[in-house]
Chain A
Amino acid sequence: DTEVTQTPKHLVMGMTNKKSLKCEQHMGHRAMYWYKQKAKKPPELMFVYSYEKLSINESVPSRFSPECPNSSLLNLHLHALQPEDSALYLCASSPSQGRDGYTFGSGTRLTVV
């Protein structure tokens, strides 16, 4: 298995909803990343997990809460989002942090209404 799988592919949520994005890989990669991408912009790093520990948090608002329950799974819990949080959320993994190639998921397109 050489893929990063993200679910759901599309999500529409209200500003009072709680939802979660899921990212899964079975390549034995020990670093996992969340990126946010607005239209026609490059991805922006949100969080990095290395060996299931949060190693980088790029000053992301607390309405985004990451979780790495095991080495294959990365979640992003969403609560009380704003319409400006609508974006493509990309997950990626790499064998280790910063030294190897990356595998990206196909993303979750989130719309906050």
Chain B
Amino acid sequence: KNEVEQSPQNLTAQEGEFITINCSYSVGISALHWLQQHPGGGIVSLFMLSSGKKKHGRLIATINIQEKHSSLHITASHPRDSAVYICAVNRGSQGNLIFGKGTKLSVKP
């Protein structure tokens, strides 16, 4: 079993829909990251969370440390949100990230 599990693996939505991507982890962490990867390959860091909730524009990320679960929400989705969204966690001070397998999001106009 992977230490970081994401669901769903693939998600297709209509423009304007509210989207939720889930991430569960089974290890102790110091931080959880939500990353976005477009087809070209570059990765953009969206959020780093150690507790609570963060919001940036139409994106909201939450984390429940007790339940070892995080969600990424996209409000009023747009075709330009189409990308792979990756959940990754830091374990302690080692610096390396443990990645989930990613959620491929496609938003149709």
| A43-B42 in contact (CB<8A) | no
Q: How many residues of B contact A (CB 8 A)?
A: 24
Interface digits, B83-109 against A, CB 8 Å rule (1 contact, 0 not)? 000101010111111011110000000
Set of chain B residues within 8 Å of A31, measured between Cβ atoms: 95
Assembled-state Cα–Cα distance A45/B88 (Å): 12
Q: How many residues of A contact B (CB 8 A)?
A: 28
> B51 an interface residue at 8 Å Cβ cutoff?
no
Of chain A, the residue at the smallest CB distance from B35 is A104
8 Å CB contact of B100 from A33, A42, A88, A103: A42
Set of chain A residues within 8 Å of B101, measured between Cβ atoms: 41-42
For chains A and B in complex, what number of residue pairs have CB atoms within 8 angstroms?
64
| A33-B48 in contact (CB<8A) | no
Assembled-state Cα–Cα distance A90/B48 (Å): 19
Assembled-state Cα–Cα distance A100/B92 (Å): 11
8 Å CB contact of A42 from B44, B94, B102: B102
Set of chain A residues within 8 Å of B31, measured between Cβ atoms: 99
Shortest beta-carbon distance, A108 to chain B, in Å?
Answer: 9
Interface digits, A88-112 against B, CB 8 Å rule (1 contact, 0 not)? 1010101001111111111101000
Set of chain A residues within 8 Å of B45, measured between Cβ atoms: 101-104
Shortest beta-carbon distance, A76 to chain B, in Å?
Answer: 16
Write 12 A-B pairs (CB below 8 A) sorted by A numbering.
A42-B99, A43-B99, A90-B43, A97-B95, A98-B96, A99-B30, A99-B90, A99-B93, A100-B48, A104-B35, A104-B45, A105-B42
* Chain A interface residues (CB < 8 Å from chain B): 31, 33, 37, 41-43, 45, 48, 50, 55-56, 58, 88, 90, 92, 94, 97-107, 109
